Amino acid sequence: MTRHLLDSSDLTPAEIGFLLDTGLEFKSRPQKLLEGRHLALLFEKPSLRTRVSFQVGMHHLGGETLYLAPEEVGLGDREAIKDVARVLARYVDVVAVRTFGQSIIEEYARFSDAPVVNALTDDQHPCQALADLLTLKERFGELSGRSLAFIGDGNNVCSSLIVTAASLGMHVRLASPDRYRPAEAVLEETEARADEQGGSFLLTADPEEAAAGADALYTDTWVSMGQEREAEQRRIDFVGYRLDQELVDRTAPDALIMHDLPAHRGEEITDAAMESPNSIIFDQAANRVWAQVAVVAFLLELVEVPSS
Ligand code: CP
Ligand code: NVA
C-alpha cells in the first residue's frame, strides 16, 4: 500500500517526532540516501521556498527533481487527474503536488503508485509545519510543554501547524476571527492530540489572550493564493490581528517570531517584528530542505520509525 502525506493528521505523533529527528540528522550529516530517486514537482500555484527547497534537498541526498509549472500539465483540464497520476508514477518515485482543493490531491493520490506529498493545498501545508517544528526543536530541544501561538487566518498553514504542534505535546493557542477558524475536523484533531500528548489547545478570537506568555508567536498572510478576490474584505476583517510589538510585549521574554513567508510587511506582520533578533523566519525557510527530504525518505521506506 503506497503511503502518502496529504494532510498533517496522516502522520502519527511518533512519526512526526521521527521526521523531525531524521531531518535534523540529515542536516548535520547529509548522506546519499536518495541516489537514483526522482521527484516530480507538479505545481498549480507559484512557489519560491517549496520548489527550491525540494530541489536543493533532493540534490543534497543524491536524488533528482523535475519541475512542472502551473501552465504545463493542466491537471483535470488538459488531462484527467487519474491519467496524470498514473503516467507520472511510471517516470518518477515521488510526486510533490501543489494545488487548490484538498479533493484534487486526494483524487490524485488514489491513482498514484508513487507516494504523493502535499506541497500546499487550500486546506493543508504539512511540509511547512514539519519545517517549523524542526526549527523550534533546534531552538528549544524538547518541545512538549512549550507554547506556540498562531494569530490570524485559520488557513492551510495554521491547520497543519496546530495539529503537528499538538502532536508534540505543545500548548497550542489560536486567535482567529470566528469566521476564519480552521475546519471543525482540524480543531477536533488538535484538541484530541493535545490531550493525548499532555499539551493543550486554546481557541479564541482575542490575539492578546493567545499571545500571553507564549514561547513563540506565528502568523501568516491574510489573503492566501486563490483568495485574491476577497482581499479587500479580509484586510478589514483582520484588523487587530497584526503581529506587532504590542503583541510581542504579551509573550514570554524573548519569544520567537515566526512566519512561513511570503510576508506582507505592514499587513499581518510589522517590519520591526520581521527584523527582530528573535525572528526565526528565515531559519524556518532554510529548514524546509531538511524536513522535506526526511518526508521523501520516509515515504520511500528508506528510513523507519524505530519500534518503541
Ligand atoms: N512558505 C512557502 O510554502 O513558500 P512558497 O509558497 O514560496 O513555496
Ligand atoms: N497561506 C498561504 C501560504 C503560502 C506559503 C497561501 O496559501 O497562499
Q: Which atom of ligand 2 is least distant from the CA of 260?
A: 5
Q: Which atom of ligand 1 is least distant from the CA of 45?
A: 6
Tell me: pLDDT of 308 over 80: no
CA separation for the pair 291, 113 (Å, rounded): 23
Tell me: pLDDT of 222 over 90: yes
Average pLDDT over residues 44-52: 97
Q: What is the pLDDT of residues 90-112, one digit of tens each?
A: 999 999 999 999 999 999 999 99
Q: What is the pLDDT of residues 244-257, one digit of tens each?
A: 999 999 999 999 99
| Cell numbers representing residue 136 in the block | 523550534
Mean pLDDT of all residues belonging to the chain? 97
pTM for the full predicted model: 0.98
| Cross-sheet strand order for the sheet of 171-175 | 200-204, 171-175, 147-151, 216-219, 256-259
CA separation for the pair 177, 207 (Å, rounded): 9
Q: Which ligand is nearest to the CA of 46?
A: 1
What percent of the chain has a predicted confidence (pLDDT) above 90?
95
Average pLDDT over residues 21-38: 96
SS (H, E, C) 235-292: HHHCCCCCECHHHHCCCCCCCEEEECCCCCECCCECHHHHHCCCECHHHHHHHHHHHH
pLDDT bin (cut points 50, 70, 90) of residue 16 is very high
198 closest CA partner among 151, 229, 165, 174: 165
Which of 220, 228, 230, 258 has most ligand 2 atoms within 8 Å of CB, for mutation?
220
Tell me: pLDDT of 76 over 90: no
Measure 149 CA to ligand 1 centroid, in angstroms.
20
Q: What is the pLDDT of residues 114-162, one digit of tens each?
A: 999 999 999 999 999 999 999 999 999 999 999 999 999 999 999 999 9
156 closest CA partner among 127, 116, 178: 127
Q: Which atom of ligand 1 is least distant from the CA of 50?
A: 8
Q: Which residues line ligand 1 (CB under 6 A)?
A: 47-50, 120, 128, 260-261
Domains along the chain with CATH numbers: 8-124+288-299 (3.40.50.1370), 126-285 (3.40.50.1370)
Tell me: pLDDT of 50 over 80: yes
Which of 42, 43, 45, 47 has most ligand 1 atoms within 8 Å of CB, for mutation?
47
pLDDT value of position 73: 83
Average pLDDT over residues 2-18: 98
* Owner of C-alpha cell 534537498: 57
Q: What is the pLDDT of residues 258-307, one digit of tens each?
A: 999 999 999 999 999 999 999 999 999 999 999 999 999 999 999 999 98
Measure 288 CA to ligand 2 centroid, in angstroms.
15
For residue 43, give every residue at least 6 positions away whose Cβ sits within 8 Å of its Cβ, in sequence order, or none.
50, 51, 67, 68, 69, 70, 97, 98, 119
Cα dihedral 51, 53, 57, 59 sign:
positive
